[in-house]
Chains A and B, each alone.
Chain A
Amino acid sequence: MAVVKTFPMGGVHPPENKFTADSAIQILDPPDEVAILLGQHIGAPAEAVVQKGDTVKVGTLIGEGKAFISANVHSSVSGTVKRVDEALDAAGFRKPAVVISVEGDEWEERIDRSPELVTEINTPAEEIVQRIKAAGIVGMGGAAFPTNVKYMVPEGKQVDTLVINGVECEPYLTADHRLMLEHTDEVLIGVEVLRRALQVERAVIGIELNKSDAIEIMSKHAERFPHIEVYGLKVQYPQGAEKQLIKAILDREVPGGKLPLDVGCVVNNVGTALAAYHEIQKNRPLIDRVVTVTGSSLSKRGNFQVRIGTPFSHAIEAAGGMPGDVAKVIAGGPMMGKAVPDLNVSVTKGTSGILLLNKREAQREETVACIRCSKCVSACPIGLEPYLLEKLARMEYWEQSDEHDVLDCIECGSCSYICPSNRPLLDYIKLGKVKVHEMRRASAG
């Protein structure tokens, strides 16, 4: 760790506010009722395979992902299926979901619930990929892209490195940090499982330097794994963005419109590695995740192991209840997370945090004219011109937006964060991305 690695272009350093870095993961009891969305991932929603009145246990398959890009969904609780219809998603829209009323806590027999570590990996590579799909494992960093799809390397592409993301560059969030501290061996075995599934010789783990304890313990335990290397990375947002992480650790640049696969890498989150460990070594599908429930005025903020489908309100209750001054509840971190319109939305596989902001923190400052300082250009880790893309989107110049590579935007929000005029740069850029996608689809057919 002689040289501190980082990505070369752009980036910002917002206040870290990692209040919960020292609070151990607490297990949150399931609520009385869970609403498990069938579309928690990128791609086609799963199709329900249970009906009203069915009895389910923890780990029972309730939704089957039939499309190529889709994921299975399992029951996170035991109880009776109350209804199979709709529930609110994080944007407030009603989406297909399975609502289960919780009775007891009975798990599927095949699941090994003992705390013992299973170090021996006996599953062949192909079977690992199939079981990752069966277990409904998706990217746990927040994007929720079905993991097995990343492991189906197309003909003609060579992959040599597995990159594991332990950066957690979003302010406030500490879920991955705690995972690495408390489940070090599980995570490392999970990385080893994924490395074998990918059939590569090298796995690298990137962790930001503000988590020195995690770097230390991970490096120490990784000594037993000859193929795994741990790297400390400079504290710079968005260090944990896929392309920036690859550039920082491996010095490979993923061109616009290309995937990590095109430069010989696959990137997964440490949470995903842990989920892979659980499924392959313990037969435990993805039924819960660690969520950081935090905020400046929350009394018992902390990191909670939450069953998928738990309503936000239940998790907030466990963290000390809703403080009076809260103005905004965000799913995820403050940079890329989205404010939720209702507290009954459920925790999904991609919910890394529940962040409560008070009035002062949540307030958007008044937008004034662009002063052409070009701070947004300097901050953009991709090298785009956010001020220009905003203007093009305001004028509805979608073709020009496309020419200026609006689709390469990773939506990290560095531009909006740094703008001294408080311009809603990312809001308009996101709109531009939607419209350019629509335009391309229309012209394609």
Chain B
Amino acid sequence: MTELLIYSALSLGGVAAGFAVVLYIISQRFKVEEDPRIGEVTELLPGINCGACGYPGCSGLAEALVDAADEGDISHLTCPPGGADTMKQVGRYFGLEVGSKHKTLAVLRCGGSFAAAPAKNEYQGPETCAIAHSLYVGVNGCPHSCLRLADCEVACPFDAIEMNDETGLPEVIPELCTSCGACVKACPRDLFEIRPRGKGKAERRVWINCRNKQPGGIARKNCSVACIGCGKCVRVCNEIVQAISMEDNLAYIDPYKCISCGKCVPVCPTKAILATFTPPKPKEPKKETADTQA
């Protein structure tokens, strides 16, 4: 009995030792040197692997950062959810300048609420925008409208999008949004845009709350707050900074040119321009336009 135990222990031990030697040799022979900085930089990043930076996860960005640091310039790389704070730490780690990227967030560009764009038909299919969009124009007849089925809410990894039961539209919660871009990808109608948060502590920003490229009359038929391409905002803005352009009956405010003066907001006849602050003057007071949608 004891003999059996000894032989077993010896033979198994021998086999184990043999494998250990082989494994050791192989591990030495085929050793992969990983830059220890990659691990350390990964630690500095948020670790949520959202992919908003354009690299596969945080370690992917860390690798790119290390490569870029070796070439002496990391200013083109950024971590949208981490924002300036994270990048400052990364910059300090490498002792390099980081890009002065604007802090951004996702902005919904549609005002097709239950009230503004009432339903003309009933949708009974699966509750997802992707399917509704591939089937037909949508409940309110506007081919560029929000389908109100919450694919963005489901896609947001930070719970920063909530459907508003009263309007039917999604709302971005600025405090939680990291501008990772998941909603931009999820929306089949391309209604989200990553835009700078805007001037000052109050985050003053102005945007066209519509994506409808149809001629004004048709757009207006389906939605009372559609951009009708009248060009009034363009004319007002042209006197100041030329931040608004008009293409296919749809105005667009370039956020990097816009100075958030808000003068375009009251001139819009359909209230299709939204701002996060109360725009200046006009003759009659504006209530809805000051609605802080985002």
Contacts and interface: CB of A to CB of B under 8 A. Distances in A.
Contacts, number: 47
A434 B133 CA distance: 11
Contacts of B130: 431
Contacts of B125: 364, 424, 427
A427 B131 contact: yes
Contacts of B120: 341-342
B243 to A, nearest CB: 30
Given A341-B120, A431-B131, A91 B126 contact: no
B63 to A, nearest CB: 25
A286 B122 CA distance: 34
Contacts of A367: 126
Size class of the A contact interface (CB-based, 8 Å): 10 to 19
Nearest to A364: B124
Interface string A333-356: 000001101100000000000000
Q: Which of B121, B125, B214 has the most CB of A within 10 A?
A: B121
Interface string B228-254: 000000000000000000000000000
B138 interface: yes
Contact of A92 (B122, B141, B214, B218): B141
B278 to A, nearest CB: 37
Interface in A287-323: none
A97 to B, nearest CB: 13
Interface in B187-217: 214
B146 to A, nearest CB: 15
Contacts of B136: 91-93, 338-339, 341
Given A364-B124, A427-B125, A434 B134 contact: yes
B6 interface: no
Contact of B135 (A91, A362, A364): A91
A326 to B, nearest CB: 12
B269 interface: no
Interface in B5-23: none
A430 B135 CA distance: 9
A417 interface: no
A107 interface: no
Interface in A335-392: 338-339, 341-342, 362-364, 367
B143 interface: yes
B138 A92 contact: yes
A428 interface: yes
B96 interface: no
B137 A92 contact: yes
Interface in A391-445: 424, 427-428, 430-431, 434
A94 interface: yes
Interface string A43-66: 000000000000000000000000
Contact of B214 (A91, A94, A327, A362): A94
Interface of A: 91-94, 327, 338-339, 341-342, 362-364, 367, 424, 427-428, 430-431, 434
7 contacts: A91-B135, A338-B135, A363-B124, A424-B126, A427-B131, A430-B131, A431-B134
